[in-house]
């Protein structure tokens, strides 16, 4: 089961730390859904194709993409990881699915408080359109991250991390996305 909590200030700290308040203030799935409209699904990371296919069909996702996020496979790896942690939003929802590894998605609630969501294998998040969010790795893994409309995140260990479309590609894809409402799905 996914774990989420209200975050402490990241200023001067390692963004890959848990950054819990003292004392910690956990956020349950009901609060997450009601206040941020983030949806959570738990899939079997070893046997997910059928259930992921149902979710894709129900939500109208049609496009799959992949990119590799590891120091030896992603150009400007460190810069990309910093870019992923920059707060941003999208006009359409995104999906992130974790196959292996782990990391953090941070989302803002209506009161402008950051909520940190620790994602592990099998976790699938649907981030609604217009929500401020960012992503970072935790200390245990390199992670998969794609950035565009409606994409699915999968994470893999440091030696084999795959990523789909990057931020730079988003502008190039806008006209196509407006036509067929694709979903980026990182599949290994």
User: How high is the pLDDT of residue 106?
Assistant: 97
User: Is the model more confident about 161 or about 29?
Assistant: 29
Q: Is residue 17 part of a domain?
A: no
User: Is the model more confident about 86 or about 144?
Assistant: 86
Provide the whole-model pTM.
0.74
- What confidence tens digit (pLDDT) does each residue in 107-154 have? 999 999 999 999 988 899 999 999 999 988 888 765 444 333 344 333
Cβ neighbours of residue 153 closer than 8 Å, sequence gap 6 or more:
95, 96, 97, 98, 119, 125, 135, 143, 144, 145, 146, 186
Q: Is residue 16 part of a domain?
A: no
- Give the chain's largest Cα–Cα span: 48
Q: Is residue 152 part of a domain?
A: yes
* CA quadruple 170, 79, 128, 112: dihedral sign: negative
Q: Which residues are annotated as a binding site?
A: 88, 90, 94, 133
Q: Is residue 146 part of a domain?
A: yes
Domain containing residue 146: CATH number: 2.60.120.10
User: How high is the pLDDT of residue 38?
Assistant: 96
Q: Is residue 114 part of a domain?
A: no
Q: Which residues are annotated as a binding site for Ni(2+)?
A: 88, 90, 94, 133
How far CA 166 is from CA of 44, 68, 91, 114, 160, in Å, comes to 26, 10, 16, 24, 17
18-25: long-range contacts, CB 8 A cutoff, minimum separation 24: 18/104, 18/116, 18/118, 18/138, 19/116, 20/116
Q: Which residues are annotated as a binding site for Fe(2+)?
A: 88, 90, 94, 133
Q: Is residue 25 part of a domain?
A: no
What span, in angstroms and rounded, lies between the C-alpha atoms of 31 and 34?
5
Q: Is residue 3 part of a domain?
A: no
User: How high is the pLDDT of residue 71?
Assistant: 72
Q: Domain containing 130: what range?
A: 37-102+120-185
User: How high is the pLDDT of residue 69?
Assistant: 60
């Amino acid at each position: 089961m996914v774990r989420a909590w209200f975050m402490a200030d990241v200023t001067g700290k390692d963004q890959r730390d848990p950054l819990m308040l003292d004392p910690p203030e956990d956020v349950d799935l009901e609060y997450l859904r009601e206040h941020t409209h983030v949806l959570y699904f738990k899939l079997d990371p070893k046997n997910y194709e059928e259930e992921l296919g149902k979710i894709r069909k129900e939500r109208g996702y049609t496009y799959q993409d992949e990119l590799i996020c590891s120091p030896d496979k992603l150009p400007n790896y460190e810069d990309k990881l910093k870019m992923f942690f920059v707060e941003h939003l999208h006009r359409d929802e995104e999906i992130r699915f974790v196959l292996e590894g782990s990391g953090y998605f941070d989302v803002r609630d209506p009161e402008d408080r950051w909520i940190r969501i620790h994602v592990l294998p099998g976790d699938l998040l649907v981030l609604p359109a217009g929500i401020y969010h960012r992503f970072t790795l935790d200390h245990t893994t390199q992670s998969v991250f794609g950035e565009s409309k409606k994409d699915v995140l999968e994470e893999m260990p440091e030696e084999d991390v795959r990523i789909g479309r990057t931020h730079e590609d988003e502008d190039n894809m806008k006209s196509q996305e407006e036509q067929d409402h694709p979903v980026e799905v990182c599949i290994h």
